[in-house]
Amino acid sequence: MEFKEFTNSLFINGEWHQVDQKQTESVVNPATLEHITKVSYGGKSETEQAIAAASAAFSDWSKKTGRERSRYLYRAHELMLKDVDRLGEILTMEQGKPLQEAKGEIKSAASFLLWYAEEASRGYGEWLPSSTNSKRMLVIGQPIGVVGAITPWNFPSSMITRKVAPALAAGCTVVLKPSPETPLSAIAIMEIFEKAGLPGGVVNMVTGDAKAIGQAMLNSKAVKMITFTGSTATGKYLMSEGAKQMKKVSLELGGHAPIIVFDDADLEKAATLSLASKFRNNGQTCICANRLYVHEKVAEAFTALLKEKVEQLQIGNGVKEGVDLGPLINEQAVKKVKAQYDDALSKGAQIVCGGSDLNAIPNGLAGFYFQPTVLSEVTDDMAIMTEETFGPLFPIQLFSDDDEAIAKANNTDYGLAAYIFTENTGKTLRTAEKLEYGIVGVNDVFPALSEAPFGGMKESGNSKEGGHHGMDEFLEKKLISIAIE
C-alpha cells in the first residue's frame, strides 16, 4: 500500500485541513523501520477550532432521535466491513500486528459501530415510585456534551470506535486525538464517517502535539468529558487536571493481568489460551496476561505444553503469511522488555524458552523485535511481577495453596483483567468474587466484546466501555421531580 509523502490528518467541521507543513509527524513501519508518510502536526489552535466545530454541531446532533443517529452508525459499520482488507493492511503497516489479527481488530472495531447503532434508540430513563403520593419522579439521561477522546496505538481502530460510537449514539459530539504512532487507521475511520454522511463537526480529529491538544481539551469549558485509554501515569494527569473544572474523565488504563491455573484445569486449554492471551499483539494489550500462577501439581505438564507451543510461534513482518508475532511498537518498548528480562535473570529466573539473543531473530528483519520468552523460578521482587510488560515475556510462578494464589493475583495496584483455568463451578465463582479485577475470564481470555462492559478497578480505570454501560458513560442523569398536588 502506497502513501503520499504527506497525509492530511486534521479533520475539522467535516473538512480536511493541514497546518504549516514545516512541522510534521513521521509515521514509521515498526516491522521494517521504513518511513510511511508524514501527517499534520496540530496543537492548541487546531484543537480549539475542532472544539468550536463540535460545540456548534452539538445542538442539532443531540436533538436527533436515537433512530436518526443510528442510521449514520449503521452506514459506518457497513463501510468498515466492506473495507476490512485495506484497513487491516494499514493497521499492520503502522502498528505491526499480523494481518489476520489486524483484520480481526477491524471487525471488532466495526462491531462497536453496529452495537451502538442498535443501542442509540435505547437510552432508557427511569420512573421512580415516590415515597409520597403528591409527587412523581422520573430520571432521564441526556448527552453530556462535547467529548475529547484520546486513544492509544495498541488497538488503533477498535479503541476509536469503542469510544466514538457510544458517544455519538448518546448524542454527544467528539474531538478525537489518536496516538501519534498510528494516525493512519484513525484517518481511515474519519474517512468512513465522512462517507457515511455524518454532519460536519459531529466528529473531528486533531493529530500532533499530544500535550498541547490534551491541554486545550482540559482548558476548554465546552469539553464536558474526556475519555482516555493509555498509561496510568497520563490517566492520572488528565484526571487531576480535569478536576479543576470537575470535568468527567473516563479512564481505561494499564493492567497486570494474572492467570491462575488450578490443579483441576484442562491443561491443553489452559496452555493454548494462556499463549493466546500473552502473545496476541505481541503482548501489547492492556488485558493480556502478565503473570502466570500454576498449581505445583500440574506445573511440569503445563510448562511443557506451553513451551512446545511458544517454540512454534513465528516472528516476522505481519504482512507475511504464517507470522504469529510482529514487532514491538518502537525501540523504547524493546528496551523495556529487555530491562525486565535482565532484571529477572539477575535475580535467578530461568529461561524455559526464548531469550534476548537478537541473533535468533530471522535474518533480514530490521524492526523492533524480541523473541517470545517464558521464564520460570520467578520471584515477587522481580520487576516483571509488578510492572506492566507490554511485550512477549511470560513469567511462571508455582503455588500450592489456592488462597495464596488469589492473594498474589490481587497484590497489585492494577485491577483490569484476571483469568482462571478450572473445571470446578464452585471454585470458579468463589475465585471470581474474590479477584479485585473489573474483568474475570474463566477458561476464556477474550472478554472484550461490543456487548460487554470492559473496564478496570483500582489504578486500571474508573469506567466501562462496551455494552449499554458504555453508552451510559456519555449520558448525564437528570431527576425531574413533579409535584402533582
Site residues (vs ligand ADP, CB under 6 A):
150-152, 177, 179-180, 210-211, 214, 230-231, 234, 237
Nearest approach, Cβ of 65 to ligand ADP (angstroms)?
33
Q: Is 485 a catalytic residue?
A: no
Nearest approach, Cβ of 74 to ligand ADP (angstroms)?
28
Residue 479: count of CB within 10 angstroms of its CB: 10
Nearer to ligand ADP, 181 or 472 (CB): 181
Q: Is 288 a catalytic residue?
A: no
DSSP 420-460: EE-S-HHHHHHHHHH---SEEEES-S----TTS-B--SGGG
Nearer to ligand ADP, 35 or 211 (CB): 211
DSSP three-state, residue 273: helix
CA distances from 122 to 24, 116, 119, 202, 467 (A): 42, 9, 5, 20, 11
Nearer to ligand ADP, 153 or 293 (CB): 153
Nearest approach, Cβ of 420 to ligand ADP (angstroms)?
27
Give the strand pairing for 10-12 and 15-17: antiparallel
Nearer to ligand ADP, 282 or 431 (CB): 282
Residues β-bridged to residue 175: 148, 204
Nearer to ligand ADP, 284 or 397 (CB): 284
Report which residue's Cβ sits closest to ligand ADP.
214
Nearest approach, Cβ of 211 to ligand ADP (angstroms)?
4
Within 8 A by CB and 6+ apart from 74, the residues are 113, 114, 117
Nearer to ligand ADP, 119 or 388 (CB): 388
- What length is written for the chain? 485
DSSP H stretches of helix in 196-296: 210-219, 232-242, 267-279
Contact assessment for residue 392 and residue 282, using Cβ atoms and an 8 Å cutoff: yes
Nearer to ligand ADP, 44 or 269 (CB): 44
Catalytic site residue from 172, 181, 286, 288:
286
C-alpha cell at 187: 484517518
Residue 146: count of CB within 10 angstroms of its CB: 28
C-alpha cell at 428: 470458579
DSSP H or E stretch at residue 141: strand 135-143
Nearest approach, Cβ of 234 to ligand ADP (angstroms)?
3
Catalytic site residue from 101, 105, 252, 473:
252
Nearest approach, Cβ of 151 to ligand ADP (angstroms)?
6
DSSP 47-106: HHHHHHHHHHHHHHHHHS-HHHHHHHHHHHHHHHHHTHHHHHHHHHHHH---HHHHHHHH
Catalytic residues: 252, 286
